[in-house]
């Protein structure tokens, strides 16, 4: 069981309502989303009516408590939502799920007034939100941000540049990280970060260029520019200078959703490869009859099941709380996203020549899988988090100070 303490640490509880939700999302995907995939890929935009349909189905309110206008539900329900949507379109899943990077910190660290002001609009799908942390010189190194917030009468003035911000094109609200004071020392460089809520109408906030990244066609990220943006004091989330904890806690939860996206992509790539191998004939028999193909499919299925179990385990741990879920979320994100890339690549190879044709749609799984490996912390960051948690839990050693 090392480094865990009992078999209960590996228990996965899946309530009946989670399966009901899966069927609801699957029906939406097959009847509403799949017929529009070609349109989304070609235009690079998600139709507004599809987002409204998703909001009407209650998808934008999952994970938000009923007292703030949401559907409630456990983190496992958010994971199933992301998995099923990603099975068709990672871009659409990200478009719905990115608001979680706003709602999680507000729910965990925000004031009651902030929760009641912003969350109901997100839950209803009337408004969308984004999370602006990454900068040209700071991505996985959260403590490396250089954007600043200067205290003035009644609030703060923010300046800086954020890049690769998913959902910024349509977001009405933003969680934004800045430095309100310099780090006191190299060992404490995480100190001095403060989190703010910014609304789209705030003067000085600009949405800059759209980045033409390899995947996420339909929800490609944007640049967010802060040019003397005045933010009232009541829009500070949590404590001044203590925003680093808010950020890393948010990512502890969010990376499980990314693992779920990867599982959805892997599921789609596997299904497509399996169906093709049954239909494609070579030497007068279906290619699945050849060991070179059938063994690949068996390996794909094995890794897919393992990735799903790890992801559901992490989601169950997140619902229960406790430090073990950070272990679980990092392991699930690392494994599931790498498996998604492997399965997508094997699917292309099984398809042969047609697998290279973008119109056929298999290459999209590989493009999107690469995105899941990088955002919300690369595989290397997840490995670092895992070993740091291990050393701290078992030996009381903080690797950051070694």
Based on the fold, state whether residues 74 and 117 are members of the same structural domain.
yes
Instruction: Check residue 363 and report its DSSP letter.
Output: H
SS3 content of the chain, % helix, strand, coil (to 5): 60, 15, 25
Residues 145-166, mean pLDDT to the nearest whole number: 97
Based on the fold, state whether residues 300 and 174 are members of the same structural domain.
no
Average pLDDT value for the chain = 94
Q: What is the pLDDT of residue 390?
A: 85
- Beta-carbon neighbour count of residue 25 at 10 Å? 24
Q: What's the CATH code of the domain at 58?
A: 1.10.540.10
Domain end (from 127, 161, 193): 127
Judged against a pLDDT cut of 80, whether residue 321 lies above it is answered with no
Based on the fold, state whether residues 372 and 253 are members of the same structural domain.
yes
Based on the fold, state whether residues 316 and 183 are members of the same structural domain.
no
pLDDT category at 3 given cuts 50, 70, 90 is confident
Given the residues 30, 219, 376, 380, the one annotated as active site: 376
Residues 89-93, mean pLDDT to the nearest whole number: 97
Judged against a pLDDT cut of 90, whether residue 165 lies above it is answered with yes
Residues 238-260, mean pLDDT to the nearest whole number: 96
* Domain coverage including residue 185: 130-213+220-241
Q: Distance between CA 28 and CA 357 in Å, rounded?
A: 27
User: CB–CB of 361/370 below 8 Å?
Assistant: no
Q: What is the pLDDT of residue 300?
A: 98
Residues 175-198, mean pLDDT to the nearest whole number: 94
Q: Which two tokens stand for residue 223?
A: 């640049």
Region of 113 please: left (phi>0), alpha (psi -120 to 50) or beta: alpha
Based on the fold, state whether residues 385 and 268 are members of the same structural domain.
yes
Domain-embedded: residue 1: no
Based on the fold, state whether residues 249 and 394 are members of the same structural domain.
yes
Per-residue pLDDT tens digits for 46-61: 999 999 999 999 999 9
Sequence-distant (6+) residues with CB within 8 A of 372 are 90, 258, 261, 262, 265, 336, 337, 340
Domain-embedded: residue 251: yes
Per-residue pLDDT tens digits for 227-236: 999 999 999 9
Q: Distance between CA 200 and CA 132 in Å, rounded?
A: 13
Give SS3 for 61.
helix
Judged against a pLDDT cut of 90, whether residue 24 lies above it is answered with yes
Its pTM stands at 0.95
Residues 131-150, mean pLDDT to the nearest whole number: 94
Judged against a pLDDT cut of 80, whether residue 402 lies above it is answered with no
Based on the fold, state whether residues 256 and 382 are members of the same structural domain.
yes
Residues 189-210, mean pLDDT to the nearest whole number: 96
Q: Which two tokens stand for residue 253?
A: 């939860």
Provide DSSP, 67-134. Answer: GGTS-B--HHHHHHHHHHHHTT-HHHHHHHHTTHHHHHHHHHHS-HHHHHHHHHHHHTTSS-EEEE--
Sign of the dihedral through C-alpha 237, 241, 246, 247: positive
Based on the fold, state whether residues 103 and 181 are members of the same structural domain.
no
Per-residue pLDDT tens digits for 355-386: 999 888 899 999 999 999 999 889 999 999 89
pLDDT category at 184 given cuts 50, 70, 90 is confident
pLDDT category at 172 given cuts 50, 70, 90 is very high
Q: Distance between CA 84 and CA 204 in Å, rounded?
A: 38
Judged against a pLDDT cut of 80, whether residue 297 lies above it is answered with yes
Q: What's the CATH code of the domain at 225?
A: 2.40.110.10
Q: Distance between CA 231 and CA 240 in Å, rounded?
A: 13
pLDDT category at 325 given cuts 50, 70, 90 is confident
Looking at the structure of the chain, the number of domains it has is 3
pLDDT category at 263 given cuts 50, 70, 90 is very high
Based on the fold, state whether residues 187 and 144 are members of the same structural domain.
yes
Based on the fold, state whether residues 254 and 382 are members of the same structural domain.
yes
Per-residue pLDDT tens digits for 326-357: 989 999 999 999 999 999 999 999 999 999 99
Domain-embedded: residue 2: no
Query: For the ranges 166-170, 183-187, 188-192, 268-272, which has the lowest average pLDDT?
Result: 183-187
Residues 173-183, mean pLDDT to the nearest whole number: 97
Give SS3 for 312.
helix
pLDDT category at 245 given cuts 50, 70, 90 is very high
Q: What's the CATH code of the domain at 281?
A: 1.20.140.10
Q: Distance between CA 268 and CA 276 in Å, rounded?
A: 12
Based on the fold, state whether residues 249 and 355 are members of the same structural domain.
yes
Q: Which residues, in sequence order, are bridge partners of residue 132? A: 176
Q: Distance between CA 37 and CA 269 in Å, rounded?
A: 15
Would residue 376 show up in a list of annotated catalytic residues for this protein?
Answer: yes
Q: Which residue has the tokens 């892997």?
A: 266
């Amino acid at each position: 069981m090392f480094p865990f303490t009992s078999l209960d640490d590996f228990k996965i509880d899946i309530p009946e309502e989670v399966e009901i939700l899966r069927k609801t999302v699957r029906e939406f995907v097959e009847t509403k989303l799949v017929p529009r995939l070609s349109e989304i890929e070609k235009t690079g935009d998600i139709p507004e009516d599809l987002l409204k349909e998703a909001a009407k189905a209650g998808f934008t309110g999952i994970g938000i408590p009923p007292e703030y206008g949401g559907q409630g539900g456990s983190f496992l329900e958010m994971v199933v939502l992301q998995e099923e949507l990603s099975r068709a379109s990672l871009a659409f899943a990200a478009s719905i799920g990115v608001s979680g990077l706003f709602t999680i910190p507000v729910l965990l660290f925000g004031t009651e007034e902030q929760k009641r002001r912003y969350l109901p609009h997100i839950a209803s799908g009337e408004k969308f939100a984004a999370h602006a942390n990454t900068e040209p010189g700071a991505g996985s190194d959260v403590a490396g941000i250089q954007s600043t917030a200067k205290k003035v009468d009644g609030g703060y003035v923010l300046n800086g540049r954020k890049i690769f911000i998913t959902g910024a094109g349509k977001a009405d609200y933003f969680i934004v990280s800045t430095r309100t004071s310099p780090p006191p020392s190299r060992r404490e460089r995480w100190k001095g970060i403060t989190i703010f809520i910014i609304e789209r109408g705030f003067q000085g906030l600009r949405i800059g260029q759209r980045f033409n990244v390899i995947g996420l066609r339909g929800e490609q990220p944007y640049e967010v520019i802060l040019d003397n943006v005045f933010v009232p004091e009541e829009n500070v989330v949590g404590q001044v200078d203590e925003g680093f904890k808010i950020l890393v806690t948010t990512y502890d939860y969010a990376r499980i959703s990314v693992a779920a996206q990867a599982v959805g992509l892997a599921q789609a790539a596997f299904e497509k490869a399996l169906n093709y191998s049954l239909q494609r004939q070579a030497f007068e028999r279906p290619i699945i009859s050849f060991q070179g193909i059938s063994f690949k499919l068996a390996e794909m299925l094995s890794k897919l099941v393992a990735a799903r179990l790890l992801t559901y385990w992490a989601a169950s741990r997140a619902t229960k709380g406790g430090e073990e879920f950070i272990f679980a979320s990092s392991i699930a994100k690392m494994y599931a996203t790498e498996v998604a890339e492997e399965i997508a690549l094997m699917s292309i190879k099984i398809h042969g020549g047609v697998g290279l044709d973008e119109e056929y749609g298999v290459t999209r799984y590989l493009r999107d899988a690469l995105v899941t490996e990088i955002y919300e912390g690369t595989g290397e960051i997840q490995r670092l988090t895992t070993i740091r948690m291990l050393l701290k839990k078992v030996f009381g050693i903080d690797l950051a100070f070694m």
